[in-house]
Amino acid sequence: MTSKRDIIFKEFDFSKKPELKTDLLHTIQYAIKSAISQRDPVMQWIWQPSINAIDDMCAAAEDPTDVVLIGFNLAPEMIYAMGLKPVCPEGLSFLCPTEYLIPYIDESHKAFIPDHLCSFLSGSIGMAISNAIPKPVAIVHTSQPCDNSIAQSTALADFYGVEPYIIDSPYYDNDEAYDYFAVQIKEGFRYLEQMTGKKLDIDRFREVMARSQRAHELVHEINELKKRKPCPIPTGAILRQLSIGMYGQTGSEHLVRWLEKHLEDARERAHKGIGGQHEEKIRTAWIYAWPSFEWTIYEWLGKKYGAIPVIFQASEYFYTPKSSGDFDDLCRSLAIRILSCPMGRSSRGHLDYFVRDSAYWCKEWSIDAAIFAGHLQCKANWSVAQITKEVLMDELGVPMLSFVVDALDPRVTSTEQMLGYIEPFLEMVAENKELEKIG
Amino acid sequence: MTALEELTLLAKQNPNPTVSAWKNKGHKIVGYWCSYIPRELVHAAGLLPYRIKGVGAEGTTRADVYMAAVCNCTYSRAILDMALNGAYNFLDGLIGMNECDHGRRAHEIWVKKIGVPFDHFLFVPHKSNDTTLREFEKELLKLKVHLESRFHTFITDENLLNSARIYNDNRALLKSLQENMKEKAPRIKGSEMHDVVIAGESIPPEQYNQLLRRLVEELENRPPLYDYRARIFIYGWTGDDSSFYKIVEDVGGLVVADNCCFGTREFWEPIHLDGDPFNSLAASYLNRPPCPRMIDGFDKRFQDVKDMITEFQVDGLLVTRQQFCDLHGVEAFFLKKREKELGVPFSAPLIQEYVGLDTGRLKTRIEAFIEQIER
Ligand code: SF4
Ligand code: SF4
Q: Above 80 in pLDDT, residue B202?
A: yes
Question: Where in the sequence is the domain holding A57, given as residue range(s)?
Answer: 24-438
Nearest CA in chain B to A180: B135
Distance in Å, CA A145 to ligand 1 centroid: 7
Q: Do you know the residue count of chain B?
A: 375
Radius of gyration, CA atoms only, chain B = 20
Q: Above 90 in pLDDT, residue B143?
A: yes
Rounded distance between C-alpha atoms, residue B57 and residue B52, angstroms: 12
SS (H, E, C) chain B: CCHHHHHHHHHHCCCCHHHHHHHHCCCCEEEECCCCCCHHHHHHCCCEEEECCCCCCCCCCCHHHCCCCCCCCHHHHHHHHHHHCCCCCCCCEEEEECCCHHHHHHHHHHHHHCCCCCEEEECCCCCCCHHHHHHHHHHHHHHHHHHHHHHCCCCCHHHHHHHHHHHHHHHHHHHHHHHHHHCCCCCCCHHHHHHHHHHHCCCCHHHHHHHHHHHHHHHHCCCCCCCCCEEEEEEECCCCCCHHHHHHHHCCEEEEEEECCCCHHHHCCCCCCCCCHHHHHHHHHHCCCCCCCCCCCHHHHHHHHHHHHHHCCCCEEEEEEECCCHHHHCHHHHHHHCHHHHCCCECCCEEECCCCCCHHHHHHHHHHHHHHHCC
Sheet containing B316-322, strands listed edge to edge, beginning at the edge strand earlier in sequence: B253-259, B230-236, B316-322, B350-352
Mean pLDDT of A154-178: 97
B163 pLDDT band, cuts 50/70/90, is: very high
Whether B135 and A180 have beta carbons less than 8 Å apart is answered as yes
Residues of B in contact with A344 (CB under 8 A): none
Residue A198 has phi, psi (to 5 degrees) of -95, 160
User: Quick one: pLDDT at residue A315?
Assistant: 84
Q: Above 80 in pLDDT, residue A259?
A: yes
User: Quick one: pLDDT at residue B375?
Assistant: 75
Rounded distance between C-alpha atoms, residue B331 and residue B291, angstroms: 11
User: Quick one: pLDDT at residue A404?
Assistant: 97
Q: Other CB atoms closer than 10 Å to residue B325's CB: what's the count?
A: 26
Is A6 within the bounds of a domain?
no
- Best residue in B37, B65, B67, B71 for a mutation probing chain A (most A CBs within 10 Å): B71
Residue A60 has phi, psi (to 5 degrees) of -60, -40
What are the residues of chain A with a beta carbon less than 8 Å away from any beta carbon of chain B?
111-114, 116-117, 143, 146-148, 150-155, 158-159, 166, 168, 170-172, 176, 180, 183-184, 187, 350-352, 374, 376-380, 382-387, 404
User: If 0-12 CB within 10 Å is exposed, 13-18 middle and 19+ buried, where does residue B102 land?
Assistant: buried
pLDDT in tens, B4-34: 999 999 999 999 999 999 999 999 999 999 9
**DSSP label at residue A282:** E
Q: Which residues contact A58 (CB under 8 A, 6 or more apart)?
A: A25, A26, A29
- Which residue type, as a one-letter code, is found at position B21? A
Is A16 within the bounds of a domain?
no
User: Quick one: pLDDT at residue B284?
Assistant: 98
A16 pLDDT band, cuts 50/70/90, is: confident
- Which residue type, as a one-letter code, is found at position B359? T
Distance in Å, CA B293 to ligand 1 centroid: 16
Mean pLDDT of A297-315: 93
User: Quick one: pLDDT at residue B346?
Assistant: 97
User: Quick one: pLDDT at residue B234?
Assistant: 98
Rounded distance between C-alpha atoms, residue B86 and residue A84, angstroms: 55
- Best residue in B99, B333, B347 for a mutation probing chain A (most A CBs within 10 Å): B333
Q: Which residues line ligand 1 (CB under 6 A)?
A: A 118, 120, 145-146, 148-149, 289, 343, 347, 375, 377-378, 380-381
In Å, what is the CA distance from B323 to each residue of A155, B33, B326, B356? 19, 19, 9, 12
- Which residue type, as a one-letter code, is found at position A184? Q
pLDDT in tens, B211-250: 999 999 999 999 999 999 999 999 999 999 999 999 999 9
Residues of A in contact with B295 (CB under 8 A): 143, 150, 153-154, 166, 168
Is A80 within the bounds of a domain?
yes
User: Quick one: pLDDT at residue B112?
Assistant: 97
Q: Which residues contact B43 (CB under 8 A, 6 or more apart)?
A: B49, B163, B166, B167, B205
Q: What three-state secondary structure class fits A177?
A: helix
Least confident of A68-72, A265-269, A324-328, B142-146: A324-328
CB spacing of B71 vs A184 below 8 angstroms: no
Q: What three-state secondary structure class fits A433?
A: helix
- Best residue in A154, A175, A183, A386 for a mutation probing chain B (most B CBs within 10 Å): A154
CB spacing of A154 vs B348 below 8 angstroms: no
Quote the Cα angle for B361-B363-B368, to 5°.
100
Which one is predicted more confidently, B175 or A63?
A: B175
Is A9 within the bounds of a domain?
no
For residue A137, give how far its alpha carbon lies from the nearest alpha carbon of chain B (Å): 19
A2 pLDDT band, cuts 50/70/90, is: very low
Averaged pLDDT score across all residues of chain B: 97
Distance in Å, CA B31 to ligand 1 centroid: 29
User: Quick one: pLDDT at residue A5?
Assistant: 73
- What ipTM is given for this predicted complex? 0.96
Nearest CA in chain B to A387: B66
Distance in Å, CA B293 to ligand 2 centroid: 7
Q: Above 70 in pLDDT, residue A3?
A: no
User: Quick one: pLDDT at residue A4?
Assistant: 63
Residues of A in contact with B65 (CB under 8 A): 386
Nearest CA in chain A to B133: A180
CB spacing of A155 vs B330 below 8 angstroms: yes
pLDDT in tens, B290-334: 999 999 999 999 999 999 999 999 999 999 999 999 999 999 999
In terms of phi and psi (left: phi > 0; alpha: psi -120 to 50; beta: otherwise), the region of B271 is beta
Whether A408 and A101 have beta carbons less than 8 Å apart is answered as yes
Domains of chain B: 14-158 (3.40.50.11890)
Q: Above 60 in pLDDT, residue A184?
A: yes
Mutation probe of ligand 1 site: the residue of A347, A348, A408 with most atoms within 8 A of C-beta: A347
Q: Which residue, by CA, sits nearest to atom 4 of ligand 2?
A: B99
A1 pLDDT band, cuts 50/70/90, is: very low
A78 pLDDT band, cuts 50/70/90, is: very high
Q: Which of A154, A383, A404 minimises the CB distance to B67?
A: A383
Q: Which residue, by CA, sits nearest to atom 5 of ligand 2?
A: B34
| CB B35 near ligand 2, within 6 Å | yes
Q: Above 80 in pLDDT, residue A324?
A: no
Averaged pLDDT score across all residues of chain A: 94
Distance in Å, CA B327 to ligand 1 centroid: 14
B10 — contact with chain A (CB < 8 Å)? Answer: no
The answer to whether the peptide bond before residue B290 is cis (omega within 30 degrees of 0) is no
Residue A383 has phi, psi (to 5 degrees) of -80, 10
Is A355 within the bounds of a domain?
yes
Q: Above 70 in pLDDT, residue A352?
A: yes
Residues of A in contact with B109 (CB under 8 A): 351, 383, 387
Q: Which residues contact A170 (CB under 8 A, 6 or more apart)?
A: A176, A177, A180, A181, A339, A349, B123, B135
Mean pLDDT of A262-279: 96
CB spacing of A404 vs B112 below 8 angstroms: no
pLDDT in tens, A88-139: 999 999 999 999 999 999 999 999 999 999 999 999 999 999 999 999 999 9
Rounded distance between C-alpha atoms, residue A146 and residue A244, angstroms: 19
CB spacing of B326 vs A114 below 8 angstroms: yes
Whether B330 and A113 have beta carbons less than 8 Å apart is answered as yes
Pick from A394, A325, A333, A324: which is nearest to A359 by CA? A394
Q: Using the atom order of ligand 1, give the atom closest to the CA of residue A288.
A: 3
Q: Using the atom order of ligand 2, give the atom closest to the CA of residue B35.
A: 7
Is A19 within the bounds of a domain?
no
Q: Which residues contact B366 (CB under 8 A, 6 or more apart)?
A: B247, B248, B251, B253, B318, B347, B350
Least confident of A291-295, B184-188, B204-208: A291-295
B101 — contact with chain A (CB < 8 Å)? Answer: yes
Nearest CA in chain B to A112: B333
Residue A258 host element (H or E): helix A253-272
Nearest CA in chain B to A126: B333
Q: Are strands A67-70 and A85-87 parallel, antiparallel or unpaired?
A: parallel
Mutation probe of ligand 2 site: the residue of B51, B265, B291 with most atoms within 8 A of C-beta: B291
Q: How many domains does chain A have?
A: 1
pLDDT in tens, A378-424: 999 999 999 999 999 999 999 999 999 999 999 999 999 999 999 99
A-B CB pairs within 8 A amount to 124
Rounded distance between C-alpha atoms, residue B86 and residue B68, angstroms: 21
Is A281 within the bounds of a domain?
yes
| CB B267 near ligand 2, within 6 Å | no
Q: What three-state secondary structure class fits A156?
A: helix
Rounded distance between C-alpha atoms, residue B273 and residue B313, angstroms: 32
Is A154 within the bounds of a domain?
yes
CB spacing of B336 vs A184 below 8 angstroms: no
For residue B29, give how far its alpha carbon lies from the nearest alpha carbon of chain A (Å): 24
Q: Which residues contact B359 (CB under 8 A, 6 or more apart)?
A: B243, B247
Distance in Å, CA B34 to ligand 2 centroid: 6
Rounded distance between C-alpha atoms, residue A43 and residue A277, angstroms: 11
Q: Are strands B29-32 and B93-97 parallel, antiparallel or unpaired?
A: parallel
